[in-house]
Structure 1
């Protein structure tokens, strides 16, 4: 199944439902994507059966404008590809290096759910000389089967899960979508020197889409170790820049979800990005390997197109940079104050 949100030319309302072949069909009973995620995958299949016969009479997919397929409850973005870390570190540190700590646990950061962009929606970057993309696959969290709580955690259906095992975590992955984590690398580099972040180098835009493909649709691509052996490609102005297999991750998705739930909680509507794929999944990796800004940073008018096998195609153009009001530097004052 494919689940999407869209606007039609006839009105300004947001519609939410299924993509069936070349048509879009609204959920019955006025349900939203958020509500469907909170009910879980089995309930979504039951809803699909209720509306599938209406698909031939429904609105054509080509006649609507797709939006981001959900309004995320939160967004965690991992860094799960060793090859990406090697390449980016060469640009930042002057040599390829993967810290021993990377292998110990799947690191992530939280980013901004309020600047999510949909398919074909242009990004408005900050002032930057090193605008970049990041090709990722993202998992979307739904309710556990039957609303069952996570290990040792009593909770209402859809309320979220804590301290999941990898097996339990697999059961709350509702589906997947394509993610583009837009990045201002020069801003990010400054922030990371403070040993915290990233922040403003990332939080201006995150593209998701074109829809959510339910997890059962991708089971055919799982390899013997539980990794999704699907091809991911990224093009800039129709030139292939990078390609990789998602199965080159250091951890399969259920382990990412399980780690996110450690002494915390994952809830329906959470988005968990894989991190940037290797072999040119972002320009920053290639800059590090090439020792120069080759290929060049993104400029206004560039079009970035990402294709992930079994999931779909996500396109976004680069809009003009948006200058922000300046703030002063830190005040260097005496630290001998007592009041």
Structure 2
């Protein structure tokens, strides 16, 4: 099944998606139904929910609604699972060369901002102070139930579906702040696209290869010009392994999102910048349109826009250096 959240007629709905690519329609599910609830239901329960929607709700063209993110994440763990991406982007962001040996030891991730999530066709503002805006083509797995210390089988049973993810990045901000040894922070937390809908795991099983990886074509365009193309099976770990690692000594819960990390071969601009030493293609700016597509899941397309006129976004001042005084002086003169 493909399951979506959307705005139509001034109301939010959860619906079943049917139809061929480019000609999809939505059928609203019964009141109270949720994407996670239907995706995680038994086969019989899911079939009953779909049957009710098809027989009881009129078809609404996808083009006539505003698609919301298919889930409102409880948390976002964004991994960096593609070796080719690391090879290129490490030069661009940190000035290093090659893949760090530690990358091979275990899947690395950062926590994204769940409040930054936008829908498949929403506009994305250039973040304050950014002059090197970039996209990142990823697939996201969605967790359907609470768990901890999952084994391989438990991890596989806990994933209820997949969606497309664009982990927008302000590369200049990211480069500066990560020199402190933390982050990314403001280089990442301004926008994250999820969409266009959630595709349940059974729909993607025909694309699983002999090694257990989903082998899906991933493509990117900027202003209708092709930029990147990769296979999701070029990742270093399967989604089940990413979830197994995430749950090691920690709780995961329904609604948690796990990003694959950016694919290789043009999955982002910074990878190409790192390989050539030149910002070509140029960084994104207002008016640019980024389209990302993953086979058997769907596509998202966001326009980059400038902040609204008059928006006040003053930067915090630089830290003051201190002489490490060990006695206290307050305004009243007491020590």
Structures share fold, TM-score greater than 0.5: yes
- Check whether the contact 2:140–2:259 (CA below 8 A) recurs between aligned residues: yes
Q: Within 1, Cα distance between the matches of 2:202 and 2:37?
A: 19
Q: Are residues 1:47 and 2:45 paired?
A: no
Aligned match of 1:86: 87
Seen in structure 2, the aligned counterparts of structure 1 residues 288 and 41 have a Cα distance that, compared at 3 Å, is farther
Which residue matches 1:188?
A: 174
Structure 2 partner of 1:4: 4
Structure number with larger C-alpha Rg: 2
Match of 2:31 in 1: 29
Q: Superposition pairs for residues 95-244 of structure 1, below 5 Å? A: 96-126=97-127, 127-143=129-145, 160-244=146-230
Over residues 110-143 of structure 1, what are the superposed CA-to-partner deviations in whole Å (9 max), with x where a residue is unaligned? 0111111101101112121110000000001113
User: How far does residue 204 in structure 1 lie from its aligned partner after superposition?
Assistant: 0.3
Distance 1:294 1:82 in 2: 21
Residues 41 and 323 of structure 1: CA distance in aligned 2, closer, same or farther (over 3 Å):
farther
Q: Compared with structure 1, are the counterparts of its residues 40 and 121 closer, same or farther at alpha carbon in structure 2 (3 Å cutoff)?
A: farther
What's the CA shift string for 1:145-169, capped at 9, x where partnerless? Answer: xxxxxxxxxxxxxxx1000012210
Partner of 1:146: none
Matching residue of 1:157: none
Q: Give the alignment's Cα RMSD to 1 decimal.
A: 1.8
- What is residue 250 of structure 2 aligned with on the other side? 264
User: How many residues are treated as equivalent by the alignment?
Assistant: 320
Is contact 2:148–2:248 with CA below 8 Å preserved after alignment?
A: yes
* Residue equivalent to 2:239: 253
Matched, 1:316 2:306: no
Which residue of structure 2 lines up, in the alignment, with residue 327 of structure 1?
316
Residues 184 and 277 (structure 1 numbering): CA distance in 2 closer, same or farther, change over 3 Å?
A: same
Cα distance change, pair 109–41 in 1 and its aligned pair in 2 (3 A): farther
SS of 1:84's equivalent?
Answer: helix
CA 34–215 in structure 1, closer or farther in 2 if over 3 Å, else same: closer
Question: Is contact 1:162–1:263 with CA below 8 Å preserved after alignment?
Answer: yes
Asked if the contact 1:209–1:314 (Cα under 8 Å) also holds between the matched residues in 2, the reply is: yes
Q: Residue 37 of structure 1 contacts residue 268 of structure 1 at CA under 8 Å; is this kept in 2?
A: no
In structure 2, relative to structure 1, the CA distance for the partners of 1:101 and 1:95 (3 Å cut) is closer
